[in-house]
Amino acid sequence: MTPGARIQAAAELLDEIASGRGAADDVVGNYFRRHRFAGVKDRGAISEHIYGVLRHRAVLDWWLDRLAAVTLPHDGRRRLLTSLTLVEGWSEGDIYRACDGDRFRPAKLDAAEKGYLEGLKGEKLDDPAMPDDVRHNFPSWLGPRLQSLFGKDLPREMAALNGTAPLDLRVNALKGERLDAKLALEGEGIKTESTRYSPLGLRVHERIPLATLDVFKNGLIEVQDEGSQVAALIADARPGMRVVDFCAGAGGKTLALAGNMNNRGHLIACDVSEKRLERATQRLRRAGISIVQRKALSNERDKWIKRHAASFDRVFVDAPCTGTGTWRRNPDAKWRLQEKDLAELAELQAGILASAARLVEPGGRLIYATCSLLREEDEAQIERFLAATPDFQLLPIAQVWRQTIGGKCPCAGDMLRLTPAKHGTDGFFAAVMERVKPEAALPPAEEVISPDLP
């Protein structure tokens, strides 16, 4: 493909993403499946164009509003022209040559676009006049929440969230050890480094053809961010236990929990979407896992929950959330998010947590996790739950960390909060709660036998 053809494809895909017809990863992946003639370099260039726009969309729109002599649409074409100039460093001549109106290439620039690009000459991506939400590329309504959370670290955390994420792999302990996977990947010419916190993790800083590798096809590795690996580890699911993955989705945490259980015990993967559960089938088979039973629920209050109340040692709730901690991987998600979504999700999370808690037996543990940075979805949910459910107590995360992962927990406070800037993971939150065992009942007074007095 020519540079112009790549630009045209990227602009069309950006418009499709903006229309809400699908998440960026799905839209781009579907395009590449339909256009198999696109080579590796073509795919890389198109993806770079698209994600450059998505990561910097607020800044690009600010420049469009500031410099365009006439109103230019904030569409894929104009945002991409701005990104090519300010993010990728293309010259005006390079853009003119790529946008020549030939077949499969963008239409020639009109007078307004030429004037706009002329105005962009010498400008930088950042400008002192930009408000914080524009400079750091997040929806303005989130500003007070993020400022309260990060304080003076806001610029550093937002820069990390606006960057690109590495590829994290989890080694399947049922198939081998981390060194085995590391050596196998090195044999394929792929360099890895051990993750900082997860003893099962490997990190890759390059694009790799993962699905074609024997080490992946034989189930020794799975894709999973280190933060998510840590959450599964602190659940402390052990061999022989009865465990529920309450919001299992496509099975990422289910796989990790089953591995921690050494494929011994009983693990139930629940979700309200049977299709999502079905997608886990091949992954479970590849990983050599046989202890998982899938259970589709009608909703978070399904009758199955009542029938199995107080029956499980561990109940893991990876709650649906805003996904604000995954913006490195899903930058388009931030632009779809609205304040009403947060309110609706917070209520849903509270209902899910309360319902899932019913499954935990006395002495068992309830683990709540999100890939969100927002207090409403994290600490506030735990505080609300504990206030309404006195038979549960919060376990200090430092104590849980020592018991499960070992060493010093990297987070202060009693709950786990990981961020890209501080910990190099996706933004992740987790809390571990234990159901208090009722005190052993004393025998009736008439049955109490007093010791003989001397």
Q: How far is CA 133 from CA 15, 53, 86, 159, 435, in A?
A: 23, 16, 18, 12, 42
Q: Is the dihedral of CA 322, 327, 333, 337 positive or negative?
A: positive
Tokens representing 381 are 């949910």
Contact predicate 353/433, CB 8 Å: no
Q: Parallel, antiparallel, or unpaired for β 292-296 and 266-271?
A: parallel
Q: Is the dihedral of CA 307, 310, 315, 318 positive or negative?
A: positive
**CB burial class (10 A; 0-12, 13-18, 19+) of residue 452?**
exposed
Nearest Cα to 332, choosing from 56, 78, 46? 56
- How does DSSP assign 83-151, residue by residue? HHHHTS---HHHHHHH-S--TTSPPPP-HHHHHHHHHHTT--S--TTS-HHHHTTS-GGGHHHHHHHHG
Q: Is 180 helix (H, G, I), strand (E, B) or coil?
A: helix
Contact predicate 251/283, CB 8 Å: yes
d(CA 414, CA 241): 25
Is 270 an annotated catalytic residue?
A: no
In this structure, what is the dihedral angle of CA atoms 210, 216, 217, 220, given to the nearest 10 degrees? Answer: 180
Tokens representing 256 are 């990790």
**Which amino acid, 191?**
K
d(CA 308, CA 302): 11
In this structure, what is the dihedral angle of CA atoms 141, 319, 196, 138, given to the nearest 10 degrees? Answer: -10
d(CA 332, CA 168): 21
| Active-site option among 270, 371, 409, 411 | 371
Residues marked active site are found at 371
